[in-house]
Amino acid sequence: MTSIKIKFRPSIIEGKEGCIYIQIIHNRVVRQLNTDYKIYAHEWDAESESIITEGNRSNILCSIKEHLEWDTARLKRAIKQLETNNHRFTTNDVITTFHRITKETSLFSFMHDVIAQLKQLGKIRTSETYTATLKSFMVFRKEQDIPLDGITSDLMLLYEAHLKARGVRMNTISFYMRILRAVYNRAIEKELTPQNNPFRHVYTGIEKTVKRAIPIKEIRVLKKLDLSLKPSLDFARDMFLFSFCTRGMSFIDMAYLKKSNLKNGILTYRRRKTGQELTIRWEKCMTEIIAKYPQNETDYLLPIIRRQGNERKQYDNALHLVNYHLKDLSDILKLQRPLTMYVARHSWASAAKAKNIPLSVISEGMGHDCEATTQIYLASLETSVVDQANKMILELL
């Protein structure tokens, strides 16, 4: 028989907080599990051996009580595991198993493990979004970790309120919530927590965003700008136009394009986001951009990754600089919406729609294989159909 009791040790200094510890008794052997929880003597009920959660520190005391309940639950789980696997165990075994379970079922530790696994699989961008979500949640929690089974509907509502108070947009809130939900579902699969549906009351949808596209006439003006004396702006403009010319190719796909991807007038590549293979007919405007950068000695088609070593950092730096200089170009052109590389993608789709090109063709052209409603009736379009659509748009330049 193993017993668990919450105990309080008052401070020897009058008016100072005392410490809470957990007493574990097994086969008449007593061990103490120290905690970081501290309360004052008048906040402890010695008769019921529990915290008094009233007074001006009620929020803090309720939080300590909640964490003690989690600790007790994990200790009971440790004891159950030991009883199932080994009839003979000691109080030391209970504490060792408790620490192992705590690490396994801690949200922060579990997310760090998921992030490390994503990196090993080469899913760098996804690992970065998971890292950003974890940092956001850690700020909300004030760096205080939480067990996976402590993720409740009330906690998620509090996190949502925290994000709203900080001025975070609803789509970003949904983004964070969906990542946390994905992590939570992984934990359920590993049987580290039961399914308590903690995300049922928070926002996980997608709101309509402000239109990011610019009209073709503004892209035409951008193309005609004389930037011969401003190479940084010229390069940013070229990257924007290359993306537009290649049906809104994302900057990361542009960065990792290799010269070997271009054969017999056809550019073939796989989207790093989805792994989908796309082919694009090579057009004159693409040749004109490539011809401006003949000193590219790497295997890459565009001068984004320029040397050996830390390619990801070169990509990140280039994206930052290009978007920075695109904002300067927005000011020069007096555009209502600032240019970014993502605007090029939106603008191609908008231009395609304006030419009455079917949604299914636009979806295929942009590699939107995850758009289920489009893909239900979309079997496989001939590449020539998409290329012809792209040619119609480029003729407008």
Question: Cβ contacts of residue 122 below 8 Å, gap of 6+?
Answer: none
| pLDDT value of residue 85 | 82
The sign of the dihedral angle between the CA atoms of 237, 242, 245, 251 is negative
| pLDDT value of residue 268 | 95
Find where tokens 């290799």 sit: 258
| pLDDT value of residue 130 | 95
Residue pair 10/18 in contact (Cβ under 8 Å)? The answer is: yes
**Sites in the chain below the pLDDT cut of 50:** 370-382
Query: Phi then psi for 128, rounded to 5 degrees?
Result: -70, -40
In the chain, DSSP finds a helix count (H) and a strand count (E) of 15, 8
What token pair was written down for 244? 């537009």
Residue pair 151/160 in contact (Cβ under 8 Å)? The answer is: no
What token pair was written down for 270? 């796989």
| pLDDT value of residue 211 | 59
Sheet holding 18-26, edge to edge: 2-9, 18-26, 29-39
Measured at the CA of 93, the angle between CA 87 and CA 98, to 5 degrees, comes to 115
Cα–Cα distances (Å) from 342 to 35, 83, 163, 393, in that order, read: 49, 57, 25, 18
Taking the C-alpha atoms of residue 192 and residue 185, their distance in angstroms, rounded to an integer, is 10
Q: Identify residue 201 by its one-letter amino acid code.
A: H
| pLDDT value of residue 73 | 87
| pLDDT value of residue 275 | 81
Interaxial angle between packed helices 216-224 and 231-245, expressed in degrees from 0 to 180 and rounded to the nearest 10:
140
Query: Phi then psi for 41, rounded to 5 degrees?
Result: -60, -40
Query: Phi then psi for 31, rounded to 5 degrees?
Result: -130, 150
| pLDDT value of residue 312 | 87
The sign of the dihedral angle between the CA atoms of 115, 117, 121, 122 is positive
Cα–Cα distances (Å) from 234 to 227, 282, 382, in that order, read: 5, 22, 35
Find where tokens 């396994």 sit: 104
> Helix (H, G, I), strand (E, B), or coil: what is residue 380?
coil
| pLDDT value of residue 104 | 80
pLDDT tens-digit series, residues 158-171: 999 999 999 999 98
| pLDDT value of residue 378 | 29
| pLDDT value of residue 369 | 58
